[in-house]
Amino acid sequence: MRLPVYLYGHPVLRRKCDNIEEPSDELTALVEDMFRTMYESDGVGLAAPQIGKSIRLVVIDGQPVADRCPECEGLKLTLINPEIEMLEGEQVTRPEGCLSLPGLSEDVKRVERLRLTWRDTDWTEHTREFEGFAARIILHETDHLEGILYVDRISPIRKQLIRNKLNAIARGDTMPDYPARVAPTARKRR
């Protein structure tokens, strides 16, 4: 089932997510729905808060950008309770986008290597190192689990410059071409 994507301004995107206690059929079905939602919205990552669930769950498929970022070749992950164990390398600046922020893309500085531990839907524990754009996708998505959006990591001047665009998303005036949901308190002008 395709799920609506919750947009900037919705309070669920600002909550710190809860750990998932155990595997379940419901969890496996939710993971399938999240992959479908991500693919049909042309995203390379989706975190549970973006579909309205405040739990530590992320899906990633970097294949669509593998031609530009070889480290994303075959990168298909379901991350349950991901924990960053190590961050290293240079800070690199690259543009990011987010399905919860339609129409926006901004430069974000992040480190280029990390080690991550997580569980999959069979509850198997994994530890692996990632670099380049793969590490960036993981950092972007795990930020979502802490209630952090990439626009929190851009310069104050840039954020001021896109303030009107952010407000338009929060009000429901900038809707994407995929099913989406704004905060119940969004003030509709039309």
Catalytic residues: 141
State the amino acid at position 171 in one-letter form: R
Q: Single out the segment in contact with Ni ion by CB under 5 A; choices: 3-11, 68-76, 93-101, 125-133.
A: 93-101
Q: Single out the segment in contact with Ni ion by CB under 5 A; choices: 3-11, 94-102, 121-129, 180-188.
A: 94-102
- Cβ(9)–Cβ(103) below 8 Å: no
Any contact of residue 145 with Ni ion (CB under 5 A)?
no
**Assigned token pair, 60:** 């990633």
In the complex with Ni ion, which residue's Cβ is closer, 31 or 149? Answer: 149
Alpha-carbon span 3 to 144, nearest angstrom = 17
In the complex with Ni ion, which residue's Cβ is closer, 69 or 98? Answer: 98
Q: Single out the segment in contact with Ni ion by CB under 5 A; choices: 28-36, 91-99, 128-136, 179-187.
A: 91-99
Nearest to 189 by CA among 173, 170, 169: 173
In the complex with Ni ion, which residue's Cβ is closer, 60 or 98? Answer: 98
Nearest to 82 by CA among 4, 131, 142: 142
Residue written as token pair 């155990």 = 22
What is the size of the binding site for Ni ion (CB under 5 A)? 1
Q: How far is the CB of 151 from Ni ion (least distance, A)?
A: 10
Any contact of residue 98 with Ni ion (CB under 5 A)?
yes
Q: How far is the CB of 152 from Ni ion (least distance, A)?
A: 11
Alpha-carbon span 9 to 94, nearest angstrom = 24
State the amino acid at position 12 in one-letter form: V
Binding-site ranges for Ni ion (CB under 5 A): 98
